[in-house]
């Protein structure tokens, strides 16, 4: 048996874990629930959840955390859609280079949910709109997941113990022209005429959809000043 | 302080797209330094743990290979994070080795409610285990009452028993009902579980080598 020390580049994880823990602490401080997802690796989803619900460290507070277990893809997106509320955090784990993770990152914005992914990717930054803790290039990094989320817990509780409460700043963007905020919404219901009811980070909203092609439920929209400007991702985009 | 030690880092690099106050910037640098120190120490500790358990890992793998080639099953269990480590081991062993956890929530809660938490594993081991099987338990403390009960039940059934235990193995290191104890010399639950993960990887590699 030959065993060699792993050649982990833990410097890469240090900065991203620190930033992620600060955001998670801020969300927890504001009452968030952590939704833990690891497609095909449910043991890690359960492990992360139990760390926060029942911390091994004596005296650490219990945090609302739930494992969402692996189901066929659409059902797992649906589980996240119907479980998470604005202000919550979804922590997904595993392969970052999947349509599932990309879609979760996009839709989290419409749900008002902070999305953090801990896992591996062949690219330094495989997608946008998501906080990413990269622990390797391929599935051999699976063995590092436990250390990464243990440290996420440890750092989160360092933040929560600080005299100054952690506060996460807004993650929405403003329009450079009129300073109004561009928001992302997910179609919940098509209404009469050229309007639809959409789910946004700020609650349900009625928007004008006359500028975009015919819509379906769960289409993801870029919206500005009460109008849908573009379809960012269609419903069932993975099919 | 941290910016002095790591001048190449800026708070903005760590905070990403978030605005940070001076207090937050200093905190973020401290957190990043904590990760660097902990991760580096833990990697070295993992390697020492594998080296220290080389013989135990070979013995444990031999038991599982014998079990798999004789039609036996591997029954794996633990509490909390260790239950998740048990799930992970089963995931890694399958499909080459017939392995499963004893963590079904209906069975688990029924026994916990009607009989008691200390019997949640041993009652299942009494039901399922035979002399061809291997009972594997995970415990960070090395003293969990229900896993100690489980190895006892396994031994009474004639099964082989393997323990992954922290705190140098604690009670299980020298327990008469444990055939092989793979111990981790730490009192930190997180570092123990991480080392046990690496030990599991080595263990599974040895099992797979033994089956080919």
Return the bridge partners of B160, or none. B134
Q: Does B165 touch chain A (CB under 8 A)?
A: no
Check residues A165 and A84 and name the one with the higher pLDDT. A84
pLDDT number for residue A237: 47
The average pLDDT across B186-204 equals 97
What does the DSSP 8-state code read for residue A4?
-
pLDDT at A135: 93
Q: Is A1 among the domain residues?
A: no
Per-residue pLDDT, B104: 95
Q: Single out the residue in A131, A160, A189 at which a domain terminates.
A: A160
- Same domain? A185 vs A120: no
* Co-location of A195 and A229 in the same domain: yes
User: Which band of pLDDT confidence, cut at 50, 70 and 90, is reported for residue A75?
Assistant: confident
* A167 belongs to a structural domain: no
On whether any CB of chain A is under 8 Å from the CB of B208, the answer is no
Question: Which chain A residue lies closest to B46 (C-alpha atoms)?
Answer: A5
Instruction: Decide if pLDDT at A238 tops 80.
Output: no
User: Smallest CA–CA separation between A90 and chain B, in Å?
Assistant: 18
Distance in angstroms (rounded) separating the CA atoms of residues B69 and A46: 31
Residue B135 reports pLDDT greater than 80: yes
Residue A126: pLDDT band (50, 70, 90) is: low
Q: b/e string for A65-74 if b means 16 or more Cβ within 10 A?
A: bbbbebeeeb
Q: Which of B39, B80, B202 sits opposite A50 (nearest CB)?
A: B80
User: Within this chain, do residues A31 and A121 fall inside the same structural domain, yes or no?
Assistant: yes
**Cβ under 8 Å to B: A residues 24-63:** 41-44, 46-47, 50-51, 54, 56-57
Query: End of a domain among A109, A127, A160?
Result: A160
Could you tell me if A179 and A146 lie in one domain?
Answer: no
Of the candidates B35, B85, B91, the beta carbon closest to that of A17 is on B35
Q: Convert the pLDDT of each residue in A187-217 to its tens digit.
A: 999 998 899 999 999 999 999 999 999 999 9
Task: Show the beta-strand stretches assigned E in chain B.
Answer: 74-78, 99-101, 134-139, 160-165, 180-183
User: Residue A224's pLDDT band (boundaries 50, 70, 90)?
Assistant: very high
In a domain, A50, yes or no: yes
> Chain B: residue nearest A48 by CA?
B81
Residue A1's pLDDT is 43
Q: Are residue A177 and residue A129 in the same domain, yes or no?
A: no
What number is the ipTM of this complex? 0.89
Does B31 sit within 8 Å of A159, measured CB to CB? Answer: yes
**Cβ–Cβ of A14/B28 closer than 8 Å?**
no
Single out the residue of A104, A99, A97 nearest to residue A68, CA to CA.
A104
Tell whether the model's pLDDT for residue A138 goes beyond 70: yes
CA–CA gap between residue A14 and residue A8 (Å, rounded): 12
**Local structure of A239: helix, strand or coil:** coil
Residue A92 lies in a domain: yes
Does the pLDDT at position A58 exceed 90? no
B4: confidence class by pLDDT, cuts 50, 70, 90:
very low
| Residues of chain A neighbouring B202 (CB-CB closer than 8 A) | 1, 3
Q: What percent of chain B has pLDDT over 90?
A: 88
| Domain CATH code at residue A229 | 2.40.50.140
Give the number of domains in chain A: 2
Q: Does A229 touch chain B (CB under 8 A)?
A: no
Tokens of B49: 């743990």
Q: Which residues of A touch B50 (CB under 8 A)?
A: 3
pLDDT bin (cut points 50, 70, 90) of residue B7 is very low
Q: In whole numbers, what is the pLDDT of chain A averaged over residues?
A: 87
Same domain, A37 and A142: yes
Average pLDDT over residues B130-153: 98
CATH of the domain at A136: 3.40.50.10490
pLDDT(B40) > 50: yes
DSSP strand pairing (A220-224 vs A227-233) = antiparallel
A12 Cβ under 8 Å from any chain B Cβ: no
Let me know whether A105 and A208 are in one domain.
Answer: no
Q: pLDDT class for A239, splitting at 50, 70, 90?
A: very low
Chain A residue with minimum CA distance to B45: A5
Look at residue A4 and tell me whether its pLDDT is greater than 70. no
Contacts B80 to A, Cβ<8 Å: 50, 54, 56
Q: Which fold has domain B49-211?
A: Rossmann fold (3.40.50)
For B27, half-sphere exposure in the C-beta direction (CA atoms, 13 angstrom radius) is 25
> Are the C-beta atoms of residues B48 and B72 closer than 8 Å to each other?
no
Residue A130's pLDDT band (boundaries 50, 70, 90)?
A: confident
A101 and A198 housed in the same domain:
no
Q: Which pLDDT tens digit goes with each residue over B197-206? A: 999 999 999 9
* Residue B63: pLDDT over 50: yes
**Digit-coded pLDDT (tens) for A146-193:** 999 999 999 999 999 988 877 765 555 455 555 567 789 999 999 988
Strands B180-183, B160-165: parallel, antiparallel or unpaired by DSSP?
A: parallel
Distance (Å) from the C-alpha of residue B113 to the closest C-alpha of chain A?
Answer: 20
Q: Which residues of A touch B140 (CB under 8 A)?
A: 56
Candidates A56, A57, A165, A173: best to mutate against B (most CBs of B within 10 A) is A56
Predicted local confidence at residue A234, as pLDDT: 82
- Give residue A70's pLDDT: 85
Decide which of A102, A134, A160 is a domain's last residue: A160
In chain B, % helix, strand, coil (3-state, to 5) comes to 60, 10, 25
* Helix, strand or coil, per DSSP, at residue B38: helix
For tokens 């997608």, name the residue: A127
Domain that holds residue A208: 173-233
Strands A114-120 and A131-136, bridge-based pairing: parallel
Q: What is the mean pLDDT of residues B97-106?
A: 97
Task: Evaluate whether residue A207 is within a structural domain.
Answer: yes
Contact A155/B at CB under 8 A: yes
Whole-number pLDDT of residue B76: 98
Mean pLDDT over B6-14 rounds to 43
HSE of A213 in the Cβ direction (CA atoms, 13 Å)? 7
Nearest CA in chain A to B24: A166
Residues of A in contact with B84 (CB under 8 A): 43-44, 46-47, 50
């Amino acid at each position: 048996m030959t065993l060699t020390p792993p050649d982990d580049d833990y410097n890469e994880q240090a900065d991203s874990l620190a930033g992620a823990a600060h955001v998670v602490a801020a969300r927890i401080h504001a009452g968030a629930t952590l939704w833990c997802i690891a497609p095909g690796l449910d043991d890690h989803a359960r492990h992360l959840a139990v760390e926060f619900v029942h911390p091994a460290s004596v005296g650490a507070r219990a945090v609302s955390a739930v494992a969402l277990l692996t189901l066929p893809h659409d059902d797992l997106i649906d589980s996240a859609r119907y479980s998470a509320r604005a202000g919550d955090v979804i922590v997904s784990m595993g392969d970052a280079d999947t349509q599932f993770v990309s879609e979760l990152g996009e839709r989290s914005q419409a749900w008002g949910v902070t999305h953090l992914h801990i896992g591996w990717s062949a690219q330094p930054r495989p997608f946008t709109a998501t906080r990413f803790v990269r622990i390797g290039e391929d599935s051999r990094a699976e063995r590092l997941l436990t250390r990464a989320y243990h440290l996420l817990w440890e750092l989160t509780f360092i933040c929560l113990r600080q005299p100054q409460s952690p506060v996460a700043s807004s993650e929405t963007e403003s329009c450079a022209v009129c300073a109004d905020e561009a928001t992302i919404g997910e179609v919940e219901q098509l209404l009469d005429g050229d309007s639809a009811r959409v789910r946004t980070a700020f609650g349900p909203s009625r928007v004008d959809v006359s500028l975009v092609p015919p819509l379906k439920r769960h289409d993801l929209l870029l919206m500005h000043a009460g109008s849908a400007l573009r379809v960012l991702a269609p419903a069932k985009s993975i099919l | 302080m941290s910016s002095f030690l790591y001048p190449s880092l800026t708070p903005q690099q760590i905070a990403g797209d978030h605005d940070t106050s001076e207090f937050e910037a200093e905190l973020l640098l401290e957190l990043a330094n904590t990760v660097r120190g902990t991760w580096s120490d833990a990697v070295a500790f993992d390697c020492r743990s594998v080296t220290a358990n080389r013989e135990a890992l070979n013995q444990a793998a031999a038991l599982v290979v014998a079990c798999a080639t004789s039609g036996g099953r591997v029954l794996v269990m633990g509490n909390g994070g260790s239950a998740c480590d048990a799930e992970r081991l089963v995931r890694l062993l399958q499909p080459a080795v017939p392995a499963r956890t004893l963590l079904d929530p209906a069975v688990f809660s029924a026994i916990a409610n009607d009989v008691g938490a200390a019997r949640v594993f041993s009652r299942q081991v009494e039901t399922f285990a035979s002399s061809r099987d291997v009972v594997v338990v995970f415990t960070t403390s090395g003293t969990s009452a229900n896993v100690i009960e489980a190895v006892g039940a396994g031994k009474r059934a004639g099964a082989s028993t393997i323990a992954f235990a922290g705190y140098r193995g604690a009670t299980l290191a020298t327990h008469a009902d444990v055939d092989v104890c793979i111990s981790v010399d730490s009192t930190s639950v997180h570092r123990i579980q991480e080392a046990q993960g690496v030990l599991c990887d080595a263990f599974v590699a040895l099992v797979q080598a033994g089956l080919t």
